[in-house]
């Protein structure tokens, strides 16, 4: 049991170290995937569309860096910025969303990339604290299982 707990502890520790070392690559990958999802928005109705909608609705953001990222998409050339990203749903018209200058006043102008990464970084202290607590319990479990193993081994020799 101690060996299995030690193995799990080492795997989690290695994953944390890899995540910390490659955090910049993770951000770059996230940004490129967000750009790709934005570019392919509504071309294929799949989970990418729902992910973009959810992120932008929850964080009150629009686009990757800002709302003007939508201008580079095929969706914008056909329909403008998606209606669901308006600040006030009752105050947006299709004509406003097709004009970038008018859309600036109607949609959220902040980009989602910065908001997502800053939200994740702000929650990292909570994740780190929980991970540290779990790691402490694992170390205690390893120590106690080694003590139990030692106790069982010593008692078997005394009984014989």
φ, ψ dihedrals at 138, nearest 5°: -65, -45
pLDDT tens profile 127-152: 888 888 888 888 999 999 988 888 88
Query: Can you name the CATH fold of 1-16+27-150?
Result: Cd81 Antigen, Extracellular Domain; Chain: A (1.10.1450)
Residue 97 CB partners (closer than 8 Å, separation 6+): 79, 80, 81, 82, 83, 86, 103, 106, 107
Q: Is the pLDDT score of 158 beyond 70?
A: no
What confidence score (pLDDT) does residue 44 get? 59
Q: Is the pLDDT score of 32 beyond 60?
A: yes
pLDDT tens profile 64-107: 888 888 888 888 888 888 877 788 877 777 787 888 788 888 88
pLDDT tens profile 48-58: 778 788 888 88
Give this prediction's pTM.
0.66
């Amino acid at each position: 049991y101690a060996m299995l707990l030690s193995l799990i502890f080492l795997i989690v520790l290695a994953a944390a170290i890899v995540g910390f070392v490659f955090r910049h690559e993770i951000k770059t990958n996230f940004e490129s995937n967000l750009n790709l999802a934005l570019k392919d928005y509504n071309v294929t109705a799949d989970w990418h569309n729902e992910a973009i909608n959810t992120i932008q609705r929850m964080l009150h953001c629009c686009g990757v860096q800002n709302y003007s990222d939508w201008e580079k998409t095929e969706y914008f050339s056909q329909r403008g910025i998606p209606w669901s990203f308006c600040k006030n749903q009752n105050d947006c018209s299709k004509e406003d969303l097709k004009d970038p200058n008018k859309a600036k006043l109607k949609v959220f102008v902040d980009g989602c990339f910065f908001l997502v990464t800053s939200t994740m970084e702000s929650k990292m202290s909570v994740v780190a604290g929980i991970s540290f607590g779990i790691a402490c319990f694992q170390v205690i479990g390893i120590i106690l299982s080694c003590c139990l193993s030692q106790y069982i081994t010593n008692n078997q020799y005394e009984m014989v």
